[in-house]
Structure 1
Amino acid sequence: MTRIAVIVLVIAAVISAIAVVHARHQHRELYVQLTRLEHARDELNIEFGRLQLEQATWSESNRIDQVARTRLGMKFPGPGEIVVVRP
């Protein structure tokens, strides 16, 4: 009877040890994946900041005025070119 109890306890200890090793291995894999995802998140945040800066630059009123004048040849109308249309 004592021998059976010892064998059962040894088997339980081996199974417990294998479970601990498996859990640690899974923890390490998940930690590596978390680190990769955090790095990707940081890269995306940096790119988002760059895109926001670029959008602010392109939508600035001075930039729009400059593009309208140089590329499209637009200009402000003179006083004689303004026509008021009334209903």
Structure 2
Amino acid sequence: DVDPFNLPQVMWALSTKMHPKHDAVIIPDLSVLPLDPGSNPSGITHKMILDATTPVAPETRGHYSQPLDSPLTTKEWEQKLMDLMNK
């Protein structure tokens, strides 16, 4: 799927593969360090699991393509744009 340590890949997977209704799970009332200012009451919080992995059979929901590589001419277009901006 994606490298979990590669932020662009993770963000791509979250934006293309995750459906909030089906792929997010909220687990309420879990313990956390009481120093967390966001916990109310102190020491209790909710946590969320996001599943942005590619579904496998028998789940057929959605069409999940692979990320595209840059076209071969990308560098040429970048250079043309830089030349135009420097004029």
Give TM-score scaled by structure 2 length. Answer: 0.20
Which one has a larger percent strand, Structure 1 or Structure 2?
2
Which one has a larger percent helix, Structure 1 or Structure 2?
1
Tell me which of the two structures has the higher relative contact order, counting C-alpha pairs closer than 8 angstroms and 6 or more residues apart: 2
